[in-house]
Amino acid sequence: MAWCSVEYEGRLGARLPRARRLLLLKADGSISIHSDSGAYKPLNWMTPPCTVREEPGSIVATNPRGERLTIALDDVLHDVDVELGDDPGLEKDGVEAELQELLAARVQSLKDDLVLIRREYPTDIGPVDLLCRDGDGRAVVVEVKRVGEIAGVEQLLRYQERLDRDSRLAPTRGMLVATKVKPQARVFAQSRGVECVEIDLDMLRDNGDSPLRLF
């Protein structure tokens, strides 16, 4: 966030006079300038592919079409760098919620000796989908995804790290359950001791007797 003015040079010329604005520089190479009005739409922007340079007192973005966006920084009010990581994407069909509900009712479909402790078990970084115990009494952390990707494995590992601080639960086992597990996620999971289970949602809906594939 900064007090700034903006000059655009390209097919047309445009200028934003000095005001307090929010500047967003994203990892994909885009840059956008926002104000409190206008909802989500930026006042001006530059989309990839473009080159963004931070110079003394300014930020300059150029693209292969010869367009140039220059932000003159008069007073930087707040400067923060945030790593968002991989985005798992928007879940529109509620498959994950349905899977979680169906599996909570019949965790033995994952392993014969599993017993549910709690659905949505709370941690300081969010709830664990299913927390179970196996026949040996070991806590099993189950993360349910529509599609199992590396981000889902990483999320599961973060939950395990939190729960392993609790002597009543440590050491935990991790299990990623999805209708499909991507090969890269499966390799990563195996390297971290996480089981991957693929499940047929339609068969689980019908009678709970779903053939599972364990990797």
The CATH number linked to 55 is: 2.70.180.20
User: Would you state the pLDDT for residue 38?
Assistant: 64
Q: Which structural domain range is residue 56 located in?
A: 2-76
Of 76, 104, 131, the residue that ends a domain is 76
110 and 198 share a domain? yes
Note the pLDDT of residue 39.
Answer: 57
- List all residues 6 or more positions away from 79 whose beta carbon is below 8 Å from its beta carbon: none
Among candidate residues 10, 44, 76, the one where a domain is terminated? 76
pTM beyond 0.95: the answer is no
Q: What is the pLDDT of residue 85?
A: 77
Q: Say whether both 193 and 101 belong to one domain.
A: yes
- Do 130 and 193 lie in one domain? The reply is yes
CA distance 134 to 62: 58
Report yes or no on 174 lying in a domain: yes
Q: Are residues 159 and 100 in the same domain?
A: yes
Per the structure, how many domains does the chain have? 2
Residue 86 lies in a domain: no
pLDDT in tens, the chain (215 residues): 999 999 999 878 889 999 999 999 988 788 999 998 765 688 998 888 889 999 999 999 998 889 999 999 999 999 999 888 776 654 544 678 888 999 999 899 899 999 999 999 998 888 999 999 999 999 999 999 999 999 999 999 999 999 999 999 999 999 999 999 999 999 999 999 999 999 988 888 876 444 454 44
Shared domain check, 102 and 68: no
- 48 and 124 inside one domain: no
CA 31 to each of CA 15, 35, 36, 201: distance values in angstroms, whole numbers, following the listed order = 16, 14, 17, 41
Last residue of a domain, one of 76, 107, 128: 76
Q: Is residue 165 part of a domain?
A: yes
Residues 111 and 175 in one domain: yes
Q: Are 96 and 27 in contact (CB under 8 A)?
A: no
- 91 phi/psi in degrees, rounded to 5: -90, 110
- CATH number of the domain encompassing residue 109: 3.40.1350.10
Residue 85 lies in a domain: no
Domain for residue 27, yes or no?
A: yes
Q: What integer pLDDT is reported at residue 94 of this predicted model? A: 66
Q: Tell me what pLDDT residue 16 has.
A: 94
